[in-house]
A and B are shown apart, each in its own frame.
Chain A
Amino acid sequence: MTTLDSGPLPVGASPAPVTLLTPATLDEALRLIAGGGAAVLGGGVGHTLRRGERRRPAPSPLVSVAHLPGLTGITRGEDHLAIGAGVRLAACAADEELGRAWPVLTEAAGSVATGRIREMVTLGGNIAARDDSHDPPVALTAVGATLAVRSATGSRTLTVPEAARLRPDELIEHVRVPLPAPRTGSAYEKFLVRGVWEYACVNVAAVVTLEADGTAGHLALAVGSVAGGPVAVDLTGLAGAPADAALVAEAADRAAATTSPYGDVRGSAAYKTRMIAEFARRALTTAVRRAAAAPDRPSKHSAGGDR
């Protein structure tokens, strides 16, 4: 469910003035939120949207973290890419290396709202908002990304769906994305009622790795805009089959059968279930095509620094 729910009437409520704190370092930010009660401000988009909600007490103080040093770059490691939580979605969408490795991620980041909003939204804020209709968490779930999370007292690693368990005193430091295996393809599909600038009716991410014999060695589907989303679809038993239309259909049907969309202005639950199958099929088909065209060994890149 989108976090824009307005709560009960009557109308006319107004947000109270709030205090905005701008720590200079991550450690300082973690200390400021350690006591609870504070709210974290990334790009500020989610906060701005929620300010219009009725009957929702405005959290105070706000702690701004988007500008913190060390959170705003994409770094390449031995077997992964680390995306700082403060990286804007527009930068994610435009990152060439990320796009080569995981088109599903750049497509998802690039499908959010509008260009101007993507320049504001941070990846960390988008995930931490825990809105099941948000696009990047769906794609990150499909690629098996993990979240490096810190508090003033320690650090831990969460999967993307586990972002629901983020504590109020924790910040996402960066998102760790594994580098794809050879012959891996991925794709993101988002169905919009109007076509632009809206929350998805359904959103689906797909990843496929092909074996030399044309079978699907690995496949993954993640679905957003459903209860408990993003949901990693259980595709147990499907790996090892030929990556053909039958496999795609089987996986897509499973995505539809195992997720629970909700009816809203974008469509009834019954319709969304049909659309999950349709867009899972489309995403998987593209992912298979891309996998077949992908190089059969990892591309050689110079180890990149913080960009």
Chain B
Amino acid sequence: MSTAELPIAPLGLGRAALPRIVGSPVERIDAVEKVTGRAVYAADSRLPRMLHGAVVRSPHACARIISIDTSRAERLPGVHTVVTGADTARVKWGAFRPDLYPLAIGRVRYVGDEVAAVAARDPETARRAAELIHVEYEVLPAVLSLDEALAEGAPLVHDDAPGNVAHEFGFDRGGVEAWFDRSDVVVEGTWQSERQWHGSIETIGCTAEWTRDRVSLWVNTQTPFLARQRYATALGLPLRAVRVVQTEVGGGFGGKSGDDNTSVICALLARRAGRPVQLVNTREEEFLASRPRIPMRYTVRLGFTEDGLVTAKDIEVVADNGAYTGKAQAVLGAATVRHDALFNYRAVRAHSRLIYTNLEPTGAFRGFGNPSADWAVGQAWDLAAARLGIDVPDLFLLNAVESGSVSPHNHKITSCELKQCIRRAAQAIGWQAKRAERTPHRGLAMGVSVHVSGRRSFGDYDGSSAIVRLTEDGRATVIVGEGEIGTGARTTLAQIAAAELGIPVADVSVPRPDTDLTTHALGALASRVTYVAGNAVQRAAQQACERLLDAAARQLDRPAAQLWVEDGTVHGPAGPDGEGPVSAPVGAVVRAELYRPGGEPIVGLGSFDNPSEFPDGSRYGNESGAYNFVAEAAEVEVDPATGAVRVLELAAVADCGTVLNPPLAEGQVEGAIAQGLGMALTERFHWQEGAPVRPNFSDYKLPTAGVMPKLHIGFADSYEPTGPFGAKGVGEIALDPVPSIIASAVADAVGVRVHELPITAEKIYWGMRNGEPGAAVPVTSAPAVPAVQDPSPPAGADRAGQEGDPR
């Protein structure tokens, strides 16, 4: 394939002919370094004279700090410095609502809140010194659940947030009540999601080093440039005083997007110690003080005509912010509006509130609000299908958006193969056959979701820029600030550059982001890198290729338009005067262009801004230039004697436009399904006094291979005209519908619909006993949240109970 032979000329249906390398299973460019253990993760960084940090955290959900005695810690041999809130700039920071001090000043607001920190010669000494710091607290009343936080006269988590409301918004677009009046069928219910932790293999970590008045931070962050902005604020420094370099990232999933204090404290320690300091979360700290998924209590009302057309949707969302805000405000925004780009609602209304509690702060997690929305709204759709007597896939097909649809929030749907996804997922799971011949205690269900490819949310910019530099040894360096969090983004960007340039992927390197060296980028969030950065890299590579061919034209004496690059060599046709075909290696052309009087390097610059709109305060605005879709169907089996759920099969068909690298895309879908199953079935803690009792993987059960069902993964035949080679994002979407699908399948299997995540065997068990006539022990206790109506054990039967579970 050559760039000259096949310039990306539009074909029918807006599609372009795709270079061979696009859609091929190119090996990850970082595969060998990862498999051989040479990849440098946050805790692998080593700087001369480096110290190690440890953090003292609050044991109380809410308390006033009376005094902090650091003298014993400071006297411990090997300790270099101790910092407290008094040593900070006393500046509150946060992505949207600045409410977090780097180290507590005056007050702690959750179990795990950072109070002091130590730097010492080794991690063990630092931790022992942290133990020697004595903090005297006056314990204050805390609000340990949404209900407690919302109660009349409840203690305030922050004095400037009356009613503990951190953020609130709403809208009524299209006149919901009028549409409900015209509806034949209305369904309603409340569904509650839970905190879910990212469970990354690598915990959050940072290494900091000061040179004069500038600090360099080597962080396993998903978003180096956004993190730099926030860290500079938190440290009371001008932006230019902070440099962030991305290390290898052992799992991001939203949890490493820079809303926590670890890097800030690391920088404070390094400044005070006058030496580099490394600070890495323990697993326990990761569970107590990272930014897990936001629990949402989500009440949905849906209206339909008797023939199944959806009319109106009305939602009331109450979200548990925890003690500090971070990105929770944006997550709630997504949870409120995103779903409306999925079906042709005539009218939508919402009232959403983000509520402070004295619990662990919540934030970004793969799906970014969508999973909680899809869980609740998906359940309402499943109920509606039953009420209407229409099979779920048919009801979805009747109402699904398609190319050209515009949502009530002005989401403009460009490419959309949602209907294809629904049909193919049904086919893959064997929907018709399984419906025709039902097996006892087995249930079948389907769910759908929509996600963005980048989201205009951090200011009126969702762009990316890239520099492609051709080197005199015939390689290409793609300089882009987006980075790699394990999804294979660097490989995909290398593939895009290689496809444009006509050189092998192995000859493309993509250095890690460094705010001093690489282009500005928002980083790996909102499923944006392939789409937004992919476009920037493609444009940069196109420009580099044009400049290469211009240089080669002069060198080879052929018109540039007749030249093409293939496998790292520039080729030209036979000349008009009988000369034979010409060729020159890319490196030779680059070198010759440089090594001449007035010579120049060959560099291409490309930039792309997501063709989207910055949503207004009521979240009106086209968030993204491209939307990706998924339909998933699952069959489960429930053991009626225990309530235990086994997911037998799960089919997922995603529309992410052109699949640039099938194994990488499949990996994203499989991993997202696994995390969705964890959210649905296994992941929870036992809580006491505002914190998990045992914050470790012994209690917190991530799904293992044994939980995974047989998967049928497919991709829709799709092409996004604004995407690089037709591609859209795919990193998050497959997680979104999973909890709802599992809940619906369980309801289909045994008639029990669980309203609170996770869907445990116990909840199903009690639900089945309640539902069976003549059950030995009737369910007599009132659910904690009446609207949630969860099956629960008989009153008084459970000694340990579940009190303390935050709701």
Contact present for B682 and A268 (CB under 8 Å): no
Query: What residues on B are CB-neighbors of A271 within 8 Å?
Result: 762, 765-766, 793, 798
The docked-state distance in angstroms from the alpha carbon of A268 to that of B696 is 20
From B112, which residue of chain A is reached at the shortest CB distance? A11
Contact present for B801 and A193 (CB under 8 Å): no
Contact present for B762 and A9 (CB under 8 Å): no
Within 8 A of A (CB), among B105-154: 111-112, 123-124, 127-128, 130-131
From B60, which residue of chain A is reached at the shortest CB distance? A9
The docked-state distance in angstroms from the alpha carbon of A10 to that of B707 is 34
Contact present for A199 and B698 (CB under 8 Å): yes
Check A213 for interface membership: any CB of B closer than 8 A: no
Contact present for B696 and A193 (CB under 8 Å): no
Check B691 for interface membership: any CB of A closer than 8 A: yes
Contact present for A10 and B56 (CB under 8 Å): yes
Contact present for B131 and A12 (CB under 8 Å): yes
The docked-state distance in angstroms from the alpha carbon of A198 to that of B699 is 8
Among A10, A14, A264, which residue has its beta carbon within 8 angstroms of that of B124? Answer: A14
Contact present for B695 and A6 (CB under 8 Å): yes
Within 8 A of A (CB), among B45-67: 54-59
The docked-state distance in angstroms from the alpha carbon of A2 to that of B800 is 15
The docked-state distance in angstroms from the alpha carbon of A199 to that of B686 is 14
Chain A 263-302 interface 0/1 with B at a Cβ cutoff of 8 Å (1 = within): 1110111110111001000000000000000000000000
Contact present for A11 and B284 (CB under 8 Å): yes
The docked-state distance in angstroms from the alpha carbon of A246 to that of B644 is 25
Contact present for A8 and B59 (CB under 8 Å): yes
From B795, which residue of chain A is reached at the shortest CB distance? A270
Check B641 for interface membership: any CB of A closer than 8 A: yes
Rounded to whole Å, the gap between the CB of B133 and the closest CB of chain A is: 9
Contact present for B694 and A11 (CB under 8 Å): no
Contact present for A278 and B641 (CB under 8 Å): yes
How many residues from B make CB contacts under 8 Å with A?
52
The docked-state distance in angstroms from the alpha carbon of A196 to that of B701 is 10
Check B703 for interface membership: any CB of A closer than 8 A: yes
Interface size class of chain A, counting residues whose CB lies under 8 Å from the partner chain: 35 or more
Check B642 for interface membership: any CB of A closer than 8 A: yes
The docked-state distance in angstroms from the alpha carbon of A288 to that of B278 is 60
Contact present for B707 and A194 (CB under 8 Å): yes
Rounded to whole Å, the gap between the CB of A278 and the closest CB of chain B is: 5
Query: What residues on A are CB-neighbors of B71 within 8 Å?
Result: none
Within 8 A of B (CB), among A116-148: none
Query: What residues on A are CB-neighbors of B328 within 8 Å?
Result: none
Check B794 for interface membership: any CB of A closer than 8 A: yes
Check A270/B797 contact, CB under 8 A, given A12-B130, A265-B699: yes
The docked-state distance in angstroms from the alpha carbon of A193 to that of B685 is 13
Query: What residues on B are CB-neighbors of A16 within 8 Å?
Result: 124, 128
Among B128, B285, B706, B800, which residue has its beta carbon within 8 angstroms of that of A11? Answer: B285
Among A2, A17, A269, which residue has its beta carbon within 8 angstroms of that of B798? Answer: A269
Check B261 for interface membership: any CB of A closer than 8 A: no
Query: What residues on B are CB-neighbors of A274 within 8 Å?
Result: 765
Check A10/B57 contact, CB under 8 A, given A197-B704, A265-B699, A274-B765: yes
The docked-state distance in angstroms from the alpha carbon of A278 to that of B762 is 13
Within 8 A of A (CB), among B270-286: 282-285
Check A52 for interface membership: any CB of B closer than 8 A: yes
Contact present for B58 and A10 (CB under 8 Å): yes
Contact present for B684 and A269 (CB under 8 Å): no
Check B693 for interface membership: any CB of A closer than 8 A: yes
Contact present for A193 and B112 (CB under 8 Å): no
From B289, which residue of chain A is reached at the shortest CB distance? A11
Within 8 A of B (CB), among A213-266: 262-265
Contact present for A268 and B57 (CB under 8 Å): no
Query: What residues on B are CB-neighbors of A193 within 8 Å?
Result: 682, 701, 760-761
The docked-state distance in angstroms from the alpha carbon of A270 to that of B642 is 13
From A282, which residue of chain B is reached at the shortest CB distance? B641
Chain B 629-663 interface 0/1 with A at a Cβ cutoff of 8 Å (1 = within): 00000000000011010100000000000000000
Check A9/B57 contact, CB under 8 A, given A197-B704, A271-B762, A278-B642: yes
The docked-state distance in angstroms from the alpha carbon of A110 to that of B799 is 31
Check A195 for interface membership: any CB of B closer than 8 A: yes
The docked-state distance in angstroms from the alpha carbon of A274 to that of B693 is 24
Rounded to whole Å, the gap between the CB of A113 and the closest CB of chain B is: 10
Contact present for B58 and A275 (CB under 8 Å): no
The docked-state distance in angstroms from the alpha carbon of A9 to that of B693 is 10
Check A12/B54 contact, CB under 8 A, given A269-B800, A271-B793, A274-B765: yes
Rounded to whole Å, the gap between the CB of B423 and the closest CB of chain A is: 32
Check B403 for interface membership: any CB of A closer than 8 A: no
Contact present for B800 and A268 (CB under 8 Å): yes
The docked-state distance in angstroms from the alpha carbon of A262 to that of B798 is 8
The docked-state distance in angstroms from the alpha carbon of A10 to that of B127 is 12
A14, A199, A275: which has the most chain B beta carbons within 10 Å?
A14
Among B54, B59, B801, which residue has its beta carbon within 8 angstroms of that of A268? Answer: B801
Check A263/B798 contact, CB under 8 A, given A11-B285, A194-B707: yes
Check A31 for interface membership: any CB of B closer than 8 A: no
Query: What residues on A are CB-neighbors of B55 within 8 Å?
Result: 12
15 contacts between A and B (CB under 8 A): A4-B694, A4-B696, A6-B694, A9-B691, A10-B58, A10-B59, A11-B282, A11-B288, A14-B127, A15-B124, A197-B704, A197-B706, A268-B797, A270-B797, A271-B765
Which B residues lie at the A interface, using CB under 8 A? 54-59, 111-112, 123-124, 127-128, 130-131, 282-285, 288, 641-642, 644, 646, 682, 684-686, 691, 693-696, 698-699, 701, 703-704, 706-707, 760-762, 765-766, 793-794, 797-802
